[in-house]
Amino acid sequence: MFRADNHPAATNINGPQTPGLTLLWRNATSRAMSTIRAVCVYCASGQGRNPAFVAAARAFGRILAENRVRLVFGGGAVGLMGALARAVLDQGGSATGIIPQFLLDKEVGFRDVTELIVTDDLHERKRLMFERADAFVALPGGIGTLEELVEQLTWAQLGRHKKPILIANIEGFWGPLLEIIEYMDRLGFIHSAAELNYLVCERDEDILPKLRAAAAGVAEEEAAAREFVERL
């Protein structure tokens, strides 16, 4: 375990105004997408009332480990977060937990993960989760999960990164959110020049293949853009 303020990436993203945003965006838009090496998963610190949610978290954890894809998550030891990370570790996979000090003090941190990064606050936590991941997945969760997902959708919509974002609609959990997004679109609040770009699937076994296909598509677009520039 180490503190984020001792981590080179964390040191780099600190700045006098809106810490980290300038460097974060520059890294996000310049990094080439080719393979999925690490996936950031947003999910609940509770288990929910449907056993399918925990089952999906465990199944996806096993899939990540079997495919040697590192898990990046919020560092919690309870709920879907804990089930997901434990499944990764039980299958011999790697997991990076990123958690603010105040949550670790409440003894909800997963201290047995491969790597545990302790941050000063939630903002630092989110920046490091972004930097460490090649793609993002939202499993069922509460307000915190929703906020993290919507933030990534917003950043992508504004063109600040091209990392794949997938909504795992397990048992229709995210159905109401998908409906409100469609409603916003119908009322003209999601403009064609800034369309939301996200993936949706209902089965945990479809998550990683969809992320890989999306990453490959981004890599092809970037290669074509580089070739066009070189010809000028």
In a domain, 23, yes or no: no
pLDDT at 47: 94
pLDDT at 194: 67
pTM here? 0.83
In a domain, 18, yes or no: no
More confident residue, 144 or 2: 144
In a domain, 154, yes or no: yes
Q: With beta carbons less than 8 A apart as the criterion, state whether 142 and 18 touch.
A: no
Where residue 173 falls among pLDDT bands split at 50, 70, 90?
Answer: very high
pLDDT more than 70, % of the chain: 78
**What is the domain range of residue 99?**
2-7+35-231
Where residue 23 falls among pLDDT bands split at 50, 70, 90?
Answer: very low
Number of domains in the chain: 1
In a domain, 166, yes or no: yes
Mean pLDDT of the chain: 85
CATH of the domain at 68: 3.40.50.450
In a domain, 179, yes or no: yes
In a domain, 146, yes or no: yes
pLDDT more than 90, % of the chain: 71
Task: Evaluate if residue 81 carries a pLDDT over 60.
Answer: yes
Task: Evaluate if residue 151 carries a pLDDT over 80.
Answer: yes
Q: What SS3 string covers 138-205?
A: ECCCCHHHHHHHHHHHHHHHCCCCCCCEEEECHHHCCHHHHHHHHHHHHCCCCCHHHCCCCEEECCHH
In a domain, 125, yes or no: yes
Rounded to 5°, the CA angle 160-200-23 comes to 15
Q: Averaged over 66-85, what is the pLDDT? A: 97
In a domain, 13, yes or no: no
